[in-house]
Amino acid sequence: MISRELSAQAKINLGLRILSRRPDGYHDIRSVFQTVSLADRVKLTARQGPRGVRLSTTGLEVAEGTRNLAYQAAESFIQRFDLDLHVEISIDKRIPVSAGLGGGSSDAAAVLRSMTAAGPEGPAVVELAGRLGCDVPFFLEGGAALVEGRGEVLTPLEPFRFWAVLMNPGVRVGSGWAYDRWDREGESLTDVDAAEHYSAPAGRWLQGEEFPLELRNDFLPIVAAEHPSVARAAAILGEYGATWGLSGSGPTLYALFHTQREAEAFAGTLPGGYEYYICRSTSPAGA
Protein backbone atom coordinates (compact mmCIF):
# COMPACT_ATOMS: atom_id res chain seq x y z
CA MET A 1 0.00 0.00 0.00
CA ILE A 2 1.12 3.55 -0.79
CA SER A 3 -0.08 6.51 1.21
CA ARG A 4 1.53 9.90 0.62
CA GLU A 5 0.58 13.55 0.89
CA LEU A 6 2.66 16.08 -1.03
CA SER A 7 2.76 19.82 -1.57
CA ALA A 8 2.32 20.53 -5.30
CA GLN A 9 3.87 23.97 -5.68
CA ALA A 10 3.09 26.59 -8.30
CA LYS A 11 5.77 28.12 -10.51
CA ILE A 12 6.31 31.50 -12.06
CA ASN A 13 8.19 32.28 -15.26
CA LEU A 14 11.09 34.67 -14.77
CA GLY A 15 10.90 35.76 -18.39
CA LEU A 16 9.57 33.75 -21.33
CA ARG A 17 10.80 34.00 -24.92
CA ILE A 18 9.10 32.15 -27.77
CA LEU A 19 11.71 31.26 -30.38
CA SER A 20 9.73 29.51 -33.11
CA ARG A 21 7.01 27.04 -33.97
CA ARG A 22 8.32 23.50 -34.39
CA PRO A 23 7.39 21.01 -37.14
CA ASP A 24 5.61 18.88 -34.49
CA GLY A 25 3.27 21.77 -33.65
CA TYR A 26 4.94 22.68 -30.35
CA HIS A 27 7.07 25.79 -29.81
CA ASP A 28 10.69 26.21 -28.82
CA ILE A 29 10.91 28.46 -25.80
CA ARG A 30 13.49 29.78 -23.40
CA SER A 31 12.40 30.61 -19.87
CA VAL A 32 13.40 30.34 -16.24
CA PHE A 33 10.94 28.49 -14.00
CA GLN A 34 10.97 29.06 -10.24
CA THR A 35 8.67 27.29 -7.80
CA VAL A 36 6.89 29.31 -5.12
CA SER A 37 5.17 28.41 -1.87
CA LEU A 38 1.60 28.74 -3.17
CA ALA A 39 0.66 25.06 -3.45
CA ASP A 40 -2.05 22.46 -3.79
CA ARG A 41 -2.15 19.53 -1.37
CA VAL A 42 -2.22 16.18 -3.13
CA LYS A 43 -2.96 13.01 -1.18
CA LEU A 44 -2.62 9.62 -2.86
CA THR A 45 -3.32 6.10 -1.67
CA ALA A 46 -2.77 3.01 -3.81
CA ARG A 47 -3.64 -0.60 -3.02
CA GLN A 48 -3.28 -3.88 -4.84
CA GLY A 49 -6.49 -4.74 -6.62
CA PRO A 50 -8.49 -4.16 -9.78
CA ARG A 51 -7.00 -1.33 -11.81
CA GLY A 52 -8.74 1.98 -11.39
CA VAL A 53 -8.36 5.65 -10.43
CA ARG A 54 -10.70 7.72 -8.29
CA LEU A 55 -10.31 11.49 -7.90
CA SER A 56 -11.90 13.90 -5.44
CA THR A 57 -11.24 17.62 -5.03
CA THR A 58 -11.85 20.45 -2.59
CA GLY A 59 -11.07 24.14 -2.76
CA LEU A 60 -10.98 25.95 -6.09
CA GLU A 61 -12.85 24.59 -9.10
CA VAL A 62 -10.78 22.14 -11.14
CA ALA A 63 -11.29 19.67 -13.99
CA GLU A 64 -12.68 16.34 -12.78
CA GLY A 65 -12.31 12.72 -13.82
CA THR A 66 -10.33 11.85 -16.92
CA ARG A 67 -9.96 15.54 -17.85
CA ASN A 68 -7.78 16.11 -14.79
CA LEU A 69 -4.03 15.82 -15.38
CA ALA A 70 -3.43 14.19 -11.99
CA TYR A 71 -5.96 11.48 -12.89
CA GLN A 72 -4.22 11.01 -16.23
CA ALA A 73 -0.85 10.74 -14.49
CA ALA A 74 -2.03 7.89 -12.25
CA GLU A 75 -3.76 6.07 -15.09
CA SER A 76 -0.72 6.42 -17.37
CA PHE A 77 1.64 5.18 -14.64
CA ILE A 78 -0.49 2.07 -14.06
CA GLN A 79 -0.62 1.27 -17.77
CA ARG A 80 3.01 2.10 -18.53
CA PHE A 81 4.39 -0.17 -15.82
CA ASP A 82 1.59 -2.79 -15.94
CA LEU A 83 0.57 -2.47 -12.29
CA ASP A 84 -2.57 -3.91 -10.70
CA LEU A 85 -3.36 -0.93 -8.49
CA HIS A 86 -6.45 0.92 -7.37
CA VAL A 87 -5.49 4.57 -6.79
CA GLU A 88 -7.39 7.23 -4.90
CA ILE A 89 -6.32 10.87 -5.29
CA SER A 90 -7.54 13.82 -3.24
CA ILE A 91 -6.58 17.36 -4.26
CA ASP A 92 -7.09 20.43 -2.10
CA LYS A 93 -6.92 23.00 -4.92
CA ARG A 94 -5.36 26.32 -3.98
CA ILE A 95 -3.57 27.30 -7.22
CA PRO A 96 -5.89 29.10 -9.67
CA VAL A 97 -6.67 27.15 -12.85
CA SER A 98 -5.57 28.36 -16.31
CA ALA A 99 -3.55 31.08 -14.59
CA GLY A 100 -0.02 30.51 -15.94
CA LEU A 101 1.15 28.98 -12.65
CA GLY A 102 1.37 25.31 -13.68
CA GLY A 103 -0.96 23.96 -11.00
CA GLY A 104 -2.28 21.04 -13.04
CA SER A 105 1.21 20.00 -14.10
CA SER A 106 2.42 20.22 -10.52
CA ASP A 107 -0.46 18.02 -9.33
CA ALA A 108 0.45 15.45 -12.00
CA ALA A 109 4.09 15.49 -10.92
CA ALA A 110 3.05 14.95 -7.29
CA VAL A 111 1.08 11.87 -8.35
CA LEU A 112 4.05 10.49 -10.29
CA ARG A 113 6.41 11.09 -7.37
CA SER A 114 4.03 9.31 -5.03
CA MET A 115 3.61 6.33 -7.32
CA THR A 116 7.33 5.69 -7.75
CA ALA A 117 7.04 3.73 -4.50
CA ALA A 118 5.18 1.09 -6.54
CA GLY A 119 7.18 1.22 -9.76
CA PRO A 120 10.32 2.43 -11.50
CA GLU A 121 12.01 5.80 -10.92
CA GLY A 122 14.41 7.75 -13.11
CA PRO A 123 14.31 8.26 -16.88
CA ALA A 124 11.18 6.20 -17.47
CA VAL A 125 9.16 8.42 -15.14
CA VAL A 126 10.63 11.60 -16.64
CA GLU A 127 9.66 10.35 -20.10
CA LEU A 128 6.13 9.64 -18.89
CA ALA A 129 5.97 13.11 -17.35
CA GLY A 130 6.92 14.68 -20.67
CA ARG A 131 4.11 12.86 -22.45
CA LEU A 132 1.59 14.21 -19.94
CA GLY A 133 2.59 17.85 -20.43
CA CYS A 134 5.51 20.11 -21.26
CA ASP A 135 5.80 21.51 -17.70
CA VAL A 136 5.40 18.24 -15.79
CA PRO A 137 9.09 17.14 -15.92
CA PHE A 138 10.16 20.39 -14.25
CA PHE A 139 7.81 19.83 -11.32
CA LEU A 140 9.33 16.43 -10.54
CA GLU A 141 12.16 18.40 -8.90
CA GLY A 142 11.07 22.03 -8.64
CA GLY A 143 13.35 24.85 -7.54
CA ALA A 144 14.75 26.85 -10.43
CA ALA A 145 15.69 25.77 -13.94
CA LEU A 146 16.46 27.19 -17.35
CA VAL A 147 13.79 25.62 -19.55
CA GLU A 148 14.34 25.17 -23.28
CA GLY A 149 13.02 23.17 -26.23
CA ARG A 150 9.30 22.65 -25.77
CA GLY A 151 9.93 22.43 -22.02
CA GLU A 152 11.81 19.12 -21.85
CA VAL A 153 15.37 20.54 -21.78
CA LEU A 154 16.06 21.51 -18.16
CA THR A 155 19.21 23.05 -16.71
CA PRO A 156 19.00 23.31 -12.90
CA LEU A 157 19.89 26.71 -11.46
CA GLU A 158 20.58 28.06 -8.02
CA PRO A 159 17.11 29.05 -6.74
CA PHE A 160 16.31 32.74 -6.69
CA ARG A 161 15.47 34.26 -3.32
CA PHE A 162 12.47 36.56 -3.20
CA TRP A 163 8.99 37.18 -1.92
CA ALA A 164 6.26 37.65 -4.50
CA VAL A 165 2.78 39.07 -4.81
CA LEU A 166 0.79 37.18 -7.44
CA MET A 167 -2.03 39.23 -9.01
CA ASN A 168 -4.84 37.29 -10.67
CA PRO A 169 -7.08 39.53 -12.82
CA GLY A 170 -9.90 36.99 -12.66
CA VAL A 171 -9.90 35.67 -16.23
CA ARG A 172 -8.67 32.35 -17.61
CA VAL A 173 -6.12 32.07 -20.39
CA GLY A 174 -5.53 28.70 -22.02
CA SER A 175 -1.97 28.10 -23.20
CA GLY A 176 -3.32 26.58 -26.44
CA TRP A 177 -5.19 29.80 -27.22
CA ALA A 178 -2.11 31.91 -26.40
CA TYR A 179 0.23 29.93 -28.65
CA ASP A 180 -2.34 29.93 -31.46
CA ARG A 181 -2.62 33.72 -31.22
CA TRP A 182 1.18 34.03 -31.21
CA ASP A 183 1.35 31.90 -34.36
CA ARG A 184 -0.98 34.35 -36.08
CA GLU A 185 0.42 37.65 -34.89
CA GLY A 186 3.02 37.25 -32.16
CA GLU A 187 6.12 36.79 -34.29
CA SER A 188 5.91 40.45 -35.22
CA LEU A 189 6.07 41.27 -31.49
CA THR A 190 9.02 39.02 -30.65
CA ASP A 191 12.67 39.96 -31.01
CA VAL A 192 13.98 36.52 -31.96
CA ASP A 193 17.63 37.61 -31.97
CA ALA A 194 17.33 38.82 -28.38
CA ALA A 195 15.51 35.63 -27.41
CA GLU A 196 18.27 33.48 -28.84
CA HIS A 197 20.78 35.18 -26.55
CA TYR A 198 18.60 35.07 -23.45
CA SER A 199 20.66 33.50 -20.66
CA ALA A 200 20.15 32.60 -17.02
CA PRO A 201 22.82 33.67 -14.52
CA ALA A 202 23.05 32.29 -11.01
CA GLY A 203 20.06 33.22 -8.92
CA ARG A 204 21.59 35.99 -6.81
CA TRP A 205 19.61 39.13 -6.04
CA LEU A 206 21.25 41.22 -3.34
CA GLN A 207 19.83 44.25 -1.59
CA GLY A 208 20.11 47.29 -3.82
CA GLU A 209 20.73 45.27 -7.01
CA GLU A 210 18.39 44.96 -9.95
CA PHE A 211 16.92 41.51 -10.55
CA PRO A 212 19.50 39.56 -12.60
CA LEU A 213 17.08 38.31 -15.30
CA GLU A 214 15.19 40.01 -18.10
CA LEU A 215 11.56 39.37 -17.14
CA ARG A 216 10.06 40.06 -20.56
CA ASN A 217 7.31 37.61 -21.52
CA ASP A 218 6.37 37.40 -25.19
CA PHE A 219 2.77 36.54 -24.29
CA LEU A 220 2.13 39.81 -22.44
CA PRO A 221 1.14 42.04 -25.40
CA ILE A 222 -1.12 39.29 -26.76
CA VAL A 223 -2.90 38.61 -23.46
CA ALA A 224 -3.16 42.30 -22.50
CA ALA A 225 -4.77 43.12 -25.86
CA GLU A 226 -7.39 40.41 -25.34
CA HIS A 227 -8.06 41.04 -21.63
CA PRO A 228 -8.22 44.69 -20.45
CA SER A 229 -8.00 43.54 -16.81
CA VAL A 230 -4.51 42.17 -17.52
CA ALA A 231 -3.48 45.45 -19.15
CA ARG A 232 -4.75 47.37 -16.10
CA ALA A 233 -2.85 45.09 -13.72
CA ALA A 234 0.35 45.56 -15.73
CA ALA A 235 -0.14 49.33 -15.57
CA ILE A 236 -0.50 49.16 -11.77
CA LEU A 237 2.75 47.24 -11.48
CA GLY A 238 4.56 49.63 -13.79
CA GLU A 239 3.33 52.70 -11.92
CA TYR A 240 4.39 51.22 -8.58
CA GLY A 241 7.88 50.65 -9.94
CA ALA A 242 8.06 47.03 -8.84
CA THR A 243 10.17 44.31 -10.44
CA TRP A 244 7.39 42.45 -12.23
CA GLY A 245 6.38 40.10 -15.02
CA LEU A 246 3.70 37.81 -16.47
CA SER A 247 3.77 34.13 -15.57
CA GLY A 248 3.38 31.63 -18.39
CA SER A 249 0.57 32.52 -20.77
CA GLY A 250 -1.09 34.46 -17.95
CA PRO A 251 -3.21 35.97 -16.75
CA THR A 252 -1.31 35.98 -13.43
CA LEU A 253 1.24 38.76 -13.01
CA TYR A 254 3.79 38.92 -10.22
CA ALA A 255 5.82 41.53 -8.38
CA LEU A 256 9.09 40.52 -6.71
CA PHE A 257 10.43 41.81 -3.40
CA HIS A 258 13.39 41.20 -1.12
CA THR A 259 11.31 40.76 2.03
CA GLN A 260 7.90 39.63 3.20
CA ARG A 261 7.27 43.07 4.68
CA GLU A 262 7.82 44.74 1.30
CA ALA A 263 5.48 42.27 -0.38
CA GLU A 264 2.76 42.83 2.20
CA ALA A 265 3.13 46.61 1.92
CA PHE A 266 2.65 46.43 -1.86
CA ALA A 267 -0.35 44.10 -1.54
CA GLY A 268 -1.95 46.67 0.74
CA THR A 269 -1.90 49.23 -2.09
CA LEU A 270 -3.82 47.08 -4.59
CA PRO A 271 -7.29 48.26 -5.59
CA GLY A 272 -10.31 46.06 -5.01
CA GLY A 273 -11.20 43.47 -7.59
CA TYR A 274 -7.80 41.80 -7.83
CA GLU A 275 -7.26 38.46 -6.15
CA TYR A 276 -3.71 38.24 -4.86
CA TYR A 277 -1.41 35.77 -3.11
CA ILE A 278 1.73 36.47 -1.11
CA CYS A 279 4.33 33.71 -1.37
CA ARG A 280 8.07 33.08 -1.43
CA SER A 281 10.41 31.25 -3.74
CA THR A 282 11.29 27.65 -2.84
CA SER A 283 14.22 25.29 -3.26
CA PRO A 284 14.19 21.91 -5.06
CA ALA A 285 12.30 19.44 -2.94
CA GLY A 286 10.52 17.25 -5.44
CA ALA A 287 6.82 17.71 -6.07
Catalytic residue among 11, 93, 107, 218: 11
Distance separating alpha carbons of residues 21 and 256, to the nearest angstrom: 30
Is 135 among the residues known to form the active site?
yes
Do 240 and 255 contact (CB within 8 A), yes or no? yes
Half-sphere exposure of 58 (CA within 13 A, CB side): 5
Catalytic residue among 40, 93, 107, 135: 135
Q: At what angle do helices 123-132 and 69-80 cross, to 10 degrees?
A: 140
Residue 197 neighbours by CB distance under 10 Å: 9
Distance separating alpha carbons of residues 166 and 123, to the nearest angstrom: 33
Positions of E strands within 130-204: 144-149, 153-157, 163-168
The SS3 call for residue 247 is: coil
Distance separating alpha carbons of residues 234 and 238, to the nearest angstrom: 6
The SS3 call for residue 244 is: strand
Q: Give the catalytic positions in this structure.
A: 11, 135
